Each structure stands twice: as C-alpha cells, then as structure tokens.
Amino acid sequence: MVAQQHHHRPTLKQSNKSFKSKHASKGSLKDAQKGKAPRSSPKLHSTTSHDSAQLRLNRRNAAKQAQSAKRQSTVDSRRLFNSGAPRIVAVVSLTSDINPKSCVEQLASVLRENIEGEGETTSKLNASRFRTSLQFLFPNTFYSILDALLIADYVLLVLSPSVEVDERGETLMRTMQSVGMPSVVAVAGESTQETTPKTPKEHKEILKSLLSFTQYFVPSLTRVYDLSSSPSEVLNTIRALCESTPAEVKWRVGYT
C-alpha cells in the first residue's frame, strides 16, 4: 500500500506588483526611501488647452492696457506742459554750505534768461529754448520740503562736493523716500566752504561718491551733474528738467 503524500497548502498568499523602474524618477526614489508620499505631477492639475490660451490672452491684454495707460500718461503730461503750465521743481539742498538760489542762477545764466519773481520761496525761469518754463520752489524747513513734494514734478537735489551729508540730511532723504518722490535730478553745487582746490581725479571720485549716496535712496538715478565743471554740464541739467517726462508718483494716481 502506497503511502499518500501530504502536501502543505499555505493559508496566506502574497502577490507583489512588479516595479516599473523606467517610470520612476530619482526624486521619487529618494522620497520612497525616506518614507515620503509621492509628489503629484503638475501636469495632473494643468488646465486645458482652451484655458491656457485664455490665460495667455488675458496676460497679453493686461500688458497692452498697462502700456496704453503709460503712453497716455506721457501724452497728457506733455500736453499739459505744452499748453503753458510750468514744470514745478523743488530745490532741496542737503547741506548748509550750498545756496539753492545760486544753482538756479547758474541755470538762468546759461540760458541767458532772467529769473522772474525772485522771492524767498519761489521763482520762475522761462526756458524758451526748450519751449517750456520752470517754476522753482525753495523750501527751507523739514516740513516745507515735504509739502513741496505734494505738487512738485521734479526734485533738484543739490549736493556739496566739500561737506558730507549729516544726520539731518540723511533723515530728510529717508523721509522723502518713504513719502514718495517725483523725478530726481541731482547736482553738485559750488560750496561756500571750498578752501583747497581739488585735482580732476579727486573731483571725479567725489562725484562718484555723491552718486553712490543718492542711488541708495533713488536707485534709478544714473548721474550727478557738476554745475562747476562747464556750461555744457549746466545745460545738460536744464535739459534733464525740460525734456524728460516726470515720473508718476504712485500715491498721486488715485487723486489726479
């Protein structure tokens, strides 16, 4: 009699899914080793082709509207000045050794024009060569300077080649920066405390230092005009005031 052979039937069965390594990225393998949940692919949540096209169209239209608004603002600004309205310039000196009015007199002398209505706080210069006029404001206190910023198209920032800007001047710059400044034109005036003549190299280094200082508060500034160098440099200063379009101050947008 042949003995019946006994076969053990396992009670638990385990089937492992084959691993498709060709679809696994290095990042997913690392995440799996660290026990992290798999990261979902952005493609799973992507919009349809119609939605993508609509988004591109919306972005293009928004860019066109912004460009059109900027162009219209420039046209309106030029139309305003061409109609006879003067460009308002707040002359701000950061040190006491510079006379702001003497800087304006230098501008007038190059244009061979007379300054009208010379006073303590304001004067006017007809720049007929550039078909416009400049209305200068001379605020001499901290709060009067801030008030002048409310209406000014430009700030003529007067710096000294001999005297460093003190704490008051830095505080003023920080305050004007936080309030919001219009277009800034920076010049180096003639100091009343100039004692020893400087070499051209020293003067060039001073202008570079003044530019570095002003760019900390006005990053868009590219140069400091030197009113003591030549008449052409003074003329370039006037050109910057008369031919450029004033920058738009953001906080004024809702009130104009």
> What is the edge-to-edge ordering of all strands in the sheet holding 87-93?
115-116, 122-127, 132-137, 87-93, 154-159, 183-188, 224-226
Residue 6 DSSP class: P
Residue where the block lists tokens 């277009």: 183
| Sequential pLDDT tens for the chain (256 residues) | 555 555 555 555 566 666 555 556 666 666 666 665 555 555 544 556 677 777 888 888 877 776 665 555 554 445 445 546 889 999 999 999 999 999 999 999 999 888 887 667 888 999 888 888 999 999 989 999 999 998 899 999 999 998 999 999 999 999 999 988 889 999 998 888 866 777 888 889 999 999 999 999 999 999 999 998 889 999 999 999 998 888 776 655 554 4
Q: Would you state the structure tokens that stand for residue 105, as one six-digit string?
A: 């007199």
pLDDT tens-digit readout, 59-98 = 888 777 766 655 555 544 454 455 468 899 999 999 999 9
Residue 216 DSSP class: H
Per DSSP bridges, beta strands 115-116 and 122-127 are antiparallel
Alpha-carbon distance of 59 to 236, in angstroms, equals: 39
175, with CB counted inside 10 A (0-12, 13-18, 19+), is middle
Residue type, 104: V
Q: Would you state the structure tokens that stand for residue 64, as one six-digit string?
A: 């066109």
Q: Is the pTM of this model over 0.85?
A: no
Instruction: Say which CATH superfamily domain 86-248 falls into.
Output: P-loop containing nucleotide triphosphate hydrolases (3.40.50.300)
pLDDT at 82: 53
